[in-house]
């Protein structure tokens, strides 16, 4: 009895540390509902591009369903800071006059920093004109842990899994 209770609490602690909910697996998702959430409530296309629509600021999602598994998508939606691929990290510059700009890094060389700013404008900065520059901490993507219900999360994941870079005819 004592062993079973200890095993239960150990399992609960491990599940909590791994970001898993004690309520079990997600319910079955509805792709159409997920597409609606991505377009409206999630406001995902304010940063992400899907089949040519949306912003170029965040990672392209047109083929995310062929690149990621359901548990990876869930982890990204619930804790965007857990894993940020190098090509998706934002870059921050501060000019000599104190203006800070954060955006998607496009090129970094010995003399210049080229980035896409939040308005999707191409910006080039000469390094000698900068007070500081470097990668920004964390992800700019919000966590959807408290924004989406478990069903909505399952719906979004079901939709994202359909995105394989191919438009159905």
What pLDDT score does 87 carry?
Answer: 85
Q: Is residue 86 a contact partner of residue 166, using CB atoms and an 8 Å limit?
A: no
What pLDDT score does 167 carry?
Answer: 66
What does pLDDT average to in each consecutive run of 10 residues of the chain (169 residues)?
41 41 76 95 93 92 94 94 88 96 95 94 96 93 94 96 80
Q: Which of 131, 125, 127 is nearest to 97 (CA)?
A: 131
Q: Is residue 65 a contact partner of residue 166, using CB atoms and an 8 Å limit?
A: no
Side-chain half-sphere of 34: how many Cα atoms within 13 Å? 21
CATH number of 90-135: 2.30.30.100
What pLDDT score does 44 carry?
Answer: 94
Contacts of 72 (CB under 8 A, 6+ apart): none
What pLDDT score does 23 carry?
Answer: 59
Q: How do strand 100-108 and strand 90-95 relate by DSSP bridges? A: antiparallel
d(CA 142, CA 81): 9
Q: What distances in angstroms separate CA 158 from CA 99, 119, 134, 152, 162, one per listed residue?
A: 41, 30, 36, 10, 7
Task: List 125's β-bridge partners, or say none.
Answer: 113
Report the topology of domain 26-85+143-169. Answer: Cytochrome Bc1 Complex; Chain D, domain 2 (1.10.760)
Where are the chain's structural domains?
26-85+143-169, 90-135
Q: Is residue 137 a contact partner of residue 92, using CB atoms and an 8 Å limit?
A: no
């Amino acid at each position: 009895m004592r062993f079973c209770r200890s095993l239960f609490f150990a399992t609960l602690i491990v599940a909590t540390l791994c970001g898993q909910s004690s309520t079990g697996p997600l319910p079955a998702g509805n792709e159409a509902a997920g597409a609606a959430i991505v377009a409206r409530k999630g406001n995902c296309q304010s940063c992400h591009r899907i089949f040519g629509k949306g912003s170029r600021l965040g990672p392209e999602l047109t083929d995310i369903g062929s690149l990621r598994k359901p548990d990876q998508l869930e982890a990204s939606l619930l804790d965007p800071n857990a894993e940020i691929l190098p090509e998706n990290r934002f870059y921050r510059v501060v000019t000599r006059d104190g203006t800070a700009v954060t955006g998607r890094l496009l090129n970094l060389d010995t003399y210049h920093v080229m980035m896409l700013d939040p308005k999707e404008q191409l910006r080039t900065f000469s390094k000698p004109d900068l007070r500081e520059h470097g990668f920004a901490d964390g992800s700019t993507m919000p966590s959807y842990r408290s924004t989406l219900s478990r069903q909505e999360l399952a719906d979004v994941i079901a939709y994202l899994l359909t995105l394989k870079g191919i438009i159905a005819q």
